Chains A and B, each alone.
Chain A
Amino acid sequence: MTRERPVPARGPVPGRRPVPARLRPSDVLRVGASGLRTRPTRVILSALGIAIGIATMIAVIGISSSSREQLLRQLDRLGTNLLTVSPGQTMFGEEARLPTTALDMVERIGPVRTASATGAVGTGVRRTDRIPEAVTGGLTVQAATTGLLTTLEGGVAEGTWLNAATERQPAVVLGSTAAERLGITRTGVRVWMGDRWFTVIGILKPMPLAPEIERSALVGFPVAERLLGFDGHPTTIYERSEEEAVEAVRAVLPRTVNPENPGEVQVSRPSDALAARAAAAGAFTSLLLGLGAVALLVGGVGVANTMVISVLERRREIGLRRSLGATRGQVRVQFLAESLLLSALGGVAGTALGALATAGYALSRDWPPVVPPWAVGGAVGATLLIGTVAGIYPAMRAARMSPTAALSTA
């Protein structure tokens, strides 16, 4: 070192008040992260609280969104143009009946593309004649017109559907649930209906829009009237029309089916139930969401606690920084940045965890996994809010610390 070493202008310029330099954003980040780097265990533990809260909320929202998406896609596939007509009640509160001509009348409505009918038959279906009549297993026997499968856009899983020939014979097609309950997996076996054997010729695929068909054993109208004492009155008429004409058809159906007593006719749209379920699935369980919020709150308290301890432990560092020229504002910013980084760490981990849980659950149920972007945005927002709120008090404390107290040995 020589005495001639050139020295640039030093110290303050007289006549001007000293103005502190601004911290660059990158330096704020670095200084905020420096406090985390030296205490990794504590950082992970306090970020974990935030992570659990965020993960819970993301998973709750994600899973219900996935379930909703799945129902909406199903609805899309099944269509919303199916209407069912069933008897209501008479003016005197008795069960009404649909006229036997009802199906013909419905088929005559212009926009109706296809219509078919089922009629409840008063007997049960049993695996053998040795099971008592009273045990029905929740299954019903129904007469069905041969067009039913077309109208419902259903399919056969096993065997065949009723045709012009088999609808006159003691042949039966089982709905998916009925087959399952009866323990029947293949055609050719016989079941006991009324007081005689019927041969199973087909098993249907599931029908989400007509769960009552899934629980039925279906026979032809003619054989039902001939062998099972069926009165020929349909109990449900299924009808599909052009999508745009659904409301118009719905309006004319009661009068068409029963001109004398249109009030005794009930019309409903099976897809409405699915749509309602989809809407309900979208409205996530508020209880779980509340749990996530509580976890998040606890996580925020944990971050605040960590920050307070950090400030107390780092009195000397704070004093040193003040002696190096840090203003109170810069100390405050440092600890706020640290708190924000801490909770952001939890937020990122929680979002990843929640998305993973959503994907795992959805895929295990064959749902399309959906994490709505607004949920991720909300998680980021919540994280920043928590980081700020949790950091304000510790940061103020750090900034208020006197530089000498912070540097004292004691």
Chain B
Amino acid sequence: MSVPYSGGGDARAVGTPCDARDPDTSCDARDPGTPYVVELRAVTKVYPGGVHALRGVDLAVSGGELLAIVGPSGSGKSTMLHVIGTLDRPTGGTVRIGGYDIAGLSDRELSALRGRTLGFVFQQFHLDPGLNALDNVAEGLLYTGVPRGDRRERAAAALERVGLGHRLAHRPNQLSGGEQQRVAVARAVAGDPPLILADEPTGNLDSGAGTEVLGVLRDLHAAGTTIAIITHDMEIAEWCPRRVRVRDGRIVDDRGDGTGRPAQTMKEVRT
């Protein structure tokens, strides 16, 4: 099934995200003619018990953007991430991920979509303590149909990419918090998904380790990956080229060009 974006464009154009690696490509997220990686229209989410976590969210993210979703606790950030990540379905509105209207996809198809299109990074790493870094990352490719040998090969490459090429055989308890989160990032990017969703990726880390992880995300962004970071750390938000503010389940502010380059380091933000 192909669901072209209502604002225009044909089926083939959808899902061919503009390429941030190519400086000539126009990647303005708000251009209705451009296909979006993420598109939320009037999305609401009501939890059982009557909690309105999202009250009509409109958000469009183009390929190659790096954006922060910020807001106070309970404002609906994680809920939004779950909806974008197809881990949860909205109560109302339309969600399109990678060109697919998720309302039209079955649970099986959503799983396949997640496996190929999305990479998740969680606040609590979620690494298997019994596996070394390499196998933890390789596990991220288990559901993509890639044979085991290739999975491990790609996992090694992903770990190399996050600067942990020398830690392949280490188990999580032999790694620092920052290193563990970088393993988790490597797992998210091993399959080379176009979209990375990170929920408080630095929430469990001190500022040094947090900076390491953000550095890795910056490099991934520079290589063309679309990244959404949920945070309530204003410094991190300022560091991102695009900032979406959420309050009470609504987007109250959305500014910056997501395809812009983030500050080289966190220090540049601080000073």
> A residues engaging B (CB < 8 A)?
1, 3-5, 7-8, 10-15, 17-24, 26-27, 31, 34, 37-38, 316-317, 319-330, 402-404, 407, 409
Contacts and interface: CB of A to CB of B under 8 A. Distances in A.
Contacts of A19: 109, 112
B257 to A, nearest CB: 17
B7 interface: no
Contact of A18 (B112, B126, B139, B142): B112
Nearest to A407: B122
Nearest to A22: B145
B135 to A, nearest CB: 10
A18 B113 CA distance: 6
Contacts of B32: none
Contacts, number: 147
Contacts of B192: 7-8, 10
B111 A322 contact: yes
B105 A3 contact: no
A26 B15 contact: no
B1 A17 contact: yes
Contacts of B111: 20, 322, 325-328, 330
A20 B145 CA distance: 8
Given A323-B120, A324-B139, A17 B21 contact: no
Given A12-B15, A38-B130, A325-B112, A3 B120 contact: no
Contacts of B14: 14
Nearest to B125: A320
Contacts of B128: 34, 38, 317
Interface stretch (B174-182, B216-224, B235-243, B246-254): B216-224
Contacts of A329: 108
Given A14-B2, A34-B130, A409 B124 contact: yes
B112 A14 contact: no
Contacts of B223: 1, 3, 5, 7
A372 to B, nearest CB: 40
A254 B224 CA distance: 107
A322 B114 contact: yes
B129 A38 contact: yes
Contacts of A14: 2, 11-12, 14-16, 99
Nearest to A327: B111
Nearest to A30: B148
Contacts of A316: 124, 126
Chain A interface helix/strand/loop/mixed = loop
Given A21-B145, A23-B142, A11 B112 contact: no
B87 interface: yes
Nearest to B142: A27
Interface string B150-170: 000000000001000000000
Given A323-B87, A325-B143, A328-B107, A15 B116 contact: no
A11 B130 contact: no
B193 interface: yes
Given A12-B100, A27-B142, A34-B130, A407 B116 contact: no
- Considering the complex of A and B, which 9 residue pairs feature the smallest CB-CB distances, nearest first? A325-B115, A21-B145, A18-B112, A325-B143, A20-B112, A14-B15, A327-B111, A15-B2, A403-B87
Contact of A404 (B82, B108, B145, B161): B82
Nearest to B83: A404
B123 interface: yes
B88 A20 contact: no
Contact of B193 (A4, A11, A26, A31): A11
A326 B147 contact: no
B144 A325 contact: yes
A18 B117 CA distance: 10
A11 B142 contact: no
B140 interface: yes
Interface in B1-23: 1-2, 11-12, 14-17, 21
A183 B148 CA distance: 77
Contacts of B1: 15, 17
A37 B129 CA distance: 11
Given A31-B142, A327-B108, 14 more contacts: A3-B21, A7-B224, A8-B192, A14-B11, A14-B12, A21-B112, A321-B143, A323-B85, A323-B120, A324-B140, A324-B143, A325-B116, A328-B108, A404-B88
Contacts of B113: 12, 18
B194 interface: yes
B87 A407 contact: yes
A402 B108 CA distance: 13
Contacts of A15: 1-2, 11-12
B201 interface: no
B210 interface: no
A325 B98 contact: no
Nearest to A1: B219
A17 B98 CA distance: 12
A38 B120 CA distance: 24
B155 to A, nearest CB: 13
Contacts of B140: 324
Contacts of A20: 108-109, 111-112, 115, 143
A26 B148 CA distance: 9
Contacts of A326: 111, 115, 142-143
A312 B17 CA distance: 40
Contacts of A325: 111-112, 114-116, 143-144
A409 B15 CA distance: 33
Contacts of A409: 123-124
A329 B110 CA distance: 13
A13 B15 contact: yes
23 contacts: A1-B222, A7-B21, A10-B117, A10-B194, A11-B195, A12-B99, A14-B12, A14-B15, A17-B109, A18-B113, A21-B112, A24-B148, A38-B130, A325-B111, A325-B112, A325-B116, A327-B112, A330-B111, A403-B87, A403-B88, A404-B82, A404-B88, A409-B124
